[in-house]
Chain A
Amino acid sequence: AQSVSQHNHHVILSEAASLELGCNYSYGGTVNLFWYVQYPGQHLQLLLKYFSGDPLVKGIKGFEAEFIKSKFSFNLRKPSVQWSDTAEYFCAVNEKNAGNMLTFGGGTRLMVKP
């Protein structure tokens, strides 16, 4: 069965600091990878996704993620965080050619101090 691990449960940063959130998945087949963000009191929104091609993907709000197949990783990065990036971040995976049921990681709560 698929599983997704996010090793950082809580991250606290000051504004302008760089961010990297880890995501590793366990699955032997070909997968699609996603990062979703949940701002306080709001629904999940897609930050970025990787289906194929260039392993470095850019998303909204200055976020990017790199797919490293050999490490089964899809880490999220942002060079300089803002207070408004305070949110819960979720990595998710689904299996290509097998429906669209996402398996989510446990989430990382990011707090950015002004």
Chain B
Amino acid sequence: DTAVSQTPKYLVTQMGNDKSIKCEQNLGHDTMYWYKQDSKKFLKIMFSYNNKELIINETVPNRFSPKSPDKAHLNLHINSLELGDSAVYFCASSLRGADNEQFFGPGTRLTVL
């Protein structure tokens, strides 16, 4: 059984388009995250979302918006895609609190042409 799943696995699109990446977890966790991994493999937190409490990394452009229909899902919507958005996006989940392991999804490789 997949613990944290993401769709799609690969996404190729043109500049200016709007796209969404979906994430689902079946671990019963109450907190979900989005991370961005750039071409140099550097991983950076984008968002943390817990029971409608959204914590945003202030460096994330407002073209990126997380949407959580319920605590098992956290989707990432990106407006007006730019070349620099090309990266691998990882979803993760955990129980709330710093003393809890985060479980990561397989990643979505986004390529903006």
Which A residues are closer than 8 A to B by beta carbons?
32, 34, 36, 42-46, 49, 51, 88, 90, 94-104, 106-107, 109
11 contacts between A and B (CB under 8 A): A32-B98, A36-B104, A43-B90, A44-B43, A51-B99, A97-B98, A99-B98, A100-B94, A100-B100, A101-B48, A106-B40
B72 contacts the other chain (Cβ, under 8 Å)? Answer: no
> Which residues from B are CB-within-8-Å of A101?
33, 45, 48, 55, 57
Asked if A102 contacts B42 (CB within 8 A), the reply is no
Chain B residue total in the interface (Cβ 8 A) = 27
Asked if A109 contacts B45 (CB within 8 A), the reply is no
> Which residues from B are CB-within-8-Å of A109?
41
Asked if B106 contacts A102 (CB within 8 A), the reply is no
Give Cα A99 to B31, complex, Å. 10
Of B97, B101, B107, which one neighbours A49 at CB under 8 angstroms?
B101
> Which residues from A are CB-within-8-Å of B55?
99, 101
> Which residues from A are CB-within-8-Å of B99?
32, 51, 96
Give the one of A36, A96, A100 with max B CB within 10 A: A100
Give Cα A101 to B60, complex, Å. 14
Q: Would you give the shortest CB distance from B14 to chain A, in whole angstroms?
A: 26
Give Cα A109 to B42, complex, Å. 12
> Which residues from B are CB-within-8-Å of A99?
48, 55, 96-98
> Which residues from B are CB-within-8-Å of A34?
101
Beta-carbon contacts under 8 Å, B62-113 to A: 90, 92, 94, 96-102, 104-107
Give Cα A49 to B57, complex, Å. 24
